[in-house]
Amino acid sequence: MTGTLILVRHGESDWNLKNLFTGWRNPDLTEKGIGEARATGVKLKAKGYVPDVYFTSNLRRAQHTLDLMLEEMGITEVTITRSLKLNERDYGDLTGLNKDDARVKWGEEQVLIWRRSFDVPPPGGESLKDTAARTLPYYESTIVPLLKAGKTVLVAAHGNSLRSIVMAVEGLTPEQILKRELATGEPVVYQIGAEGQLEGRVEI
């Protein structure tokens, strides 16, 4: 029995467009982001995907992305589970700052360390390791059993919470996951076996 895991990073948000550290702040999608979400819904429908279960974060941009995908897929009256465990990484004192301004304030090298190291958090915020520490137990306890049972699961969330899941699914090292970029609105689809193991990735 094979389950299907569909991961989708939210479409472009207003703060993505403005080059701001977003974290747990709650901007909505831009017009481009709305288009990205709708396009992904069209792609998934064209491939015949009808998810059994739906998850998203507590943040508007991910929720709106999921709603738009479902609209394009013609799926209504479903139960959606929302959890802060799937929220984006908390950027702490960087939240709301323009990334260029942050480089001026703290120096390019320090900001790069905060953004691209696995276990060094920004002041008051989370590292990718911290993000994984809340996302992965939720994934393992709540989502993996559904996949083992052969369900199709759609998760609309954020770059860093989804990278934590990708790291677990693909068995990547911290160094490898740091190099993995997830484009806004683009689906990543995995086939998961009855023991929870990766059986393959599907190109959409």
- Residues catalogued as catalytic: 10, 88
Three-state SS annotation for 64-122: HHHHHHHHHHCCCCCCEEECHHHCCCCCHHHCCCEHHHHHHHHCHHHHHHHHHCCCCCC
The single residue listed with the structure tokens 């190291």 is 117
Pairing relation of β-strands 3-9 and 187-192?
A: antiparallel
Nearest to 177 by CA among 121, 134, 132, 144: 132
Q: How far is CA 121 from the centre of its chain?
A: 19
Sequential DSSP letters for 2-38: -EEEEEEEPPPBHHHHTTB--TT----B-HHHHHHHH
Measured distance CA(159)–CA(194) in Å, rounded? 27
CB atoms within 10 A of CB 204: 15
